[in-house]
Structure 1
């Protein structure tokens, strides 16, 4: 008999080990970059998701906010995060945490690609990205060429689904 306040181990959950270029991962063209879902909410019982973001010069999402925590670790390059209207640059090796509900966005303002790890807790952003992005072959795949109409459709889809994923896009 245990006196632990912790629930028992759940043997139905497995260890998750991935490589960013490993088989079976979902790679998505989003916001000008390629995002790879490394660990999905399905694999963590919804507790969090982990996304590898490769962001080209000029890439990044529009201003937005959501009711979940989002943490970024810059692996390569530098990215400018704008948090509540104030920009701050994060460089390789640095971590930025965005509190729930705070308006923010990021942009790669350099002339070099950047790479970030993004953890969202709880999960859900991974599923949102799957629904609004275009699947590509691998982490270094360029986004598909889209016509102006296709780009507009992606933006409308992102806006239409945002509320379902506890997100508000802050664009006119």
Structure 2
């Protein structure tokens, strides 16, 4: 019998790394450390009125959003559209996108990252906010630049 160097990893509901940043709850169930950098997955929750991310572009990774509950307002580069459970947005490298909760009920969804690593952005912002830094657009822009991410439209 040939033994694999890889092992399956099971995450149960509510297991993983919880990071709260700017009104968004990110539960990373898979991170770069879990997948050898290949892939990361989070379940996110936004309270009513919360902006998850203003329109931006990733140059080093792809993101895929899948709505589980509620109504998520997505910016797809052309404008905003509100979608419900079962909708998917593929924001591949170079594709402008953003998201917010414009509804009166919480929104829950999944966000998948390939390759992994962008979870470090959330860790860094969380640590800065915990140290007393205000999460202004200027501060977030500086943090995003460390992860090959720029505002959209470009200034």
Query: What is the TM-score with the length of structure 1 in the denominator?
Result: 0.76
* 2:117 alignment counterpart: 124
* 2:17 alignment counterpart: 26
Q: Is the 8 A contact 1:36 1:52 kept in 2?
A: yes
Residue 112 (1) aligns with residue 105 (2) = yes
Classify the secondary structure of the residue corresponding to 1:151: coil
Pairing partner for 1:53 from 32, 36, 44: 44
Pairing partner for 2:90 from 71, 92, 97: 97
Q: Is the 8 A contact 1:90 1:96 kept in 2?
A: no
Pairing partner for 2:67 from 61, 64, 74: 74
Q: Unaligned 5+ residue runs, structure 1?
A: 1-7, 136-143
Pairing partner for 1:165 from 143, 147, 150: 147
* 1:4 alignment counterpart: none
Moved over 2 A (4+): 149-152, 154-161, 169-172
Q: Deviation of residue 160 (structure 1)?
A: 2.2
Q: Deviation of residue 134 (structure 1)?
A: 5.2
Query: What is the TM-score with the length of structure 2 in the denominator?
Result: 0.83
Bigger CA radius of gyration:
1
Q: Unaligned 5+ residue runs, structure 2?
A: none
Q: Deviation of residue 162 (structure 1)?
A: 1.6
